[in-house]
Amino acid sequence: MIKLSGTLVIKEIKGANGKFCVGDLTTPEGDFKVKEPILDQFAEGRYEGEFSVERFYLSSYVWRGKSTTDIRAKLVDINLSEAVEGEQEATPSEPDPIMTDIQPAQVPSDSAVPVPAAVVSEDAPQDPKYRELLELLGNELAELAWESKPIKLDPTVDRAMFRRQRDMLKTLGYTFDAKEQQWHLKSGD
């Protein structure tokens, strides 16, 4: 793993599968594209800090009659020193990573596995809303959401599942704190 200091400019794009975020990481070592699920939590903006990169790799895709090859950085950790949210300069339309990334078979983590009713503890709330949270978030995160506590999503789950989890938290009134990389219930709710 390599740690780089730099600036990550995140842009939100509306695709056929919903909104998604992409980033341009600028460091003294070079410029890299970032298309990791973790970015889908962030608002458009400029984020400065230290970025832990698991690997760099070439990624190619064909979109709207052109072939593009990017040098991508796979981020595994982000430590921000400054976050300036807001719209950035316009960029060309980009394809949704769900459509272009080839996903290796993954074993789902606890936060992505629907929990059968038989596994739920007897003292768990029987409210249908809790059951919905349980199916989407898994035991641990559903309990945190039910208790209105801060939540950190697992960006290693399937990207479509990650987006559904993010959207559910927004529906519940949570907002994402980019520096903490956690979702918090809006104060006053």
**DSSP-based three-state secondary structure for 18:** strand
pLDDT band of 90, cuts 50, 70, 90: low
- 108 or 137: whose pLDDT is higher? 137
- pLDDT for the residue numbered 115: 46
Global pTM? 0.63
178 pLDDT band (50/70/90 cuts)? very high
Helix, strand, or coil (residue 32): strand
- Residue 186 neighbours by CB distance under 10 Å: 9
Q: According to the model, what pLDDT value does residue 184 have?
A: 95
Cβ proximity of 95 and 15 under 8 Å:
yes
Residue that has been written with the tokens 């596995």 in this structure = 113
Side chain identity, residue 153: L
User: What's the average model confidence in pLDDT over 139-159?
Assistant: 91
Length of the chain in residues, anyone? 189
Residue 86's pLDDT is what? 86
Does CATH number 1.20.120 belong to domain 2-100?
A: no
Task: Locate the domains of the chain by residue range.
Answer: 2-100, 110-185
What confidence score (pLDDT) does residue 152 get?
94
Asked if 159 and 97 touch (Cβ cutoff 8 Å), the reply is yes
pLDDT at residue 33, rounded to an integer: 96
